[in-house]
Amino acid sequence: LALWRTKAKAAVTLETDSDLMERTRLGDHQAFAMIVDSHKHGLTNYLTRLLGSRPKAEDMAQETFLKLYLHADRYQSNGKLTGYIFRIATNLAISEHRKARRRSLFKTLFLSNADIGTTAEASAQSSLLVSEAHQKLAEAIALLPFHYRAPILLHEIEGMPYEAISETLGCREGTVKSRISRGRKRLKKQLAAYFDGDGS
């Protein structure tokens, strides 16, 4: 029964999202504002963890919604809107990552190992990471390579199924599983000292 209820809820959400997108496509700002309202927290959370910076995440989340509005006609109603929004956001993040790498700036969007300590500190001060465990985890996530970080965040934190992640990231389900597994291994390795020490 619980499973059925979940599916029914998902179907209603899908329908609602499709309707809202249809209205958005026709230029209905109210419908678009409703979409933004219902997805803004999840997207901000994902991008904050992905980019390691709250201000950049907010800016990119807004940019994501703008892209969604401007290219609303590209959305296919049979797909789930959340996955579609996260795909736009991930593509923006990848694009920014590449630009930053090309420019070879000292401060890149995805920080190098040398910089991560400082940023994780700043992130911990400005965010909700009150416990030491969460702070350590945030630092470890920020140290992950991008191709491990995105699927880990989508699966472990946003609770997306593998199939949706493979659609969002544009890779095969097997690749998603393997990347999540490797990402977890890296996280465990980085947090091993903490788990075996005081945090255990």
Please report, as ranges, the residues that interact with another protein according to CB under 8 A. 27, 29, 32-33, 36-37, 40-41, 43-45, 48-49, 54, 57-58, 61-62, 65-66, 69-70, 127-130, 133-134, 137-138, 152, 156-157, 184, 187-188, 191-192, 195, 199-200
Kindly state the greatest CA–CA separation across the chain: 58
Nearer to another protein, 114 or 190 (CB): 190
Secondary structure class of 130 (helix, strand, coil) = coil
Note whether 198 and 167 are within 8 A (CB): no
Q: What is the dihedral of CA 103, 138, 151, 39, to 10 degrees?
A: -90
Dist CA 38 CA 99 (whole Å) = 30
Residue 156 CA to residue 192 CA, distance in Å, equals: 19
The CB-of-78 to another protein minimum distance in angstroms stands at 26
Whose Cβ is closer to another protein: residue 46's or residue 110's?
Answer: 46
Nearer to another protein, 68 or 169 (CB): 68
- Smallest gap from Cβ 64 to another protein, in A, equals 9
Which CB, 50 or 103, lies closer to another protein?
Answer: 50
Measured CA to CA, the distance from residue 174 to residue 198 in angstroms comes to: 36
Q: How near is the Cβ of 187 to another protein at its closest, in Å? A: 6
Q: How far is the CB of 43 from another protein (least distance, A)?
A: 8
Nearest approach in angstroms of CB 24 to another protein is: 11
Q: Which helix (H) or strand (E) holds 51?
A: helix 29-51
Closer of 114 and 130 to another protein (Cβ): 130
Sign of the Cα torsion 98, 166, 138, 196 reads negative
Query: Distance between CA 182 and CA 69 in Å, rounded?
Result: 35
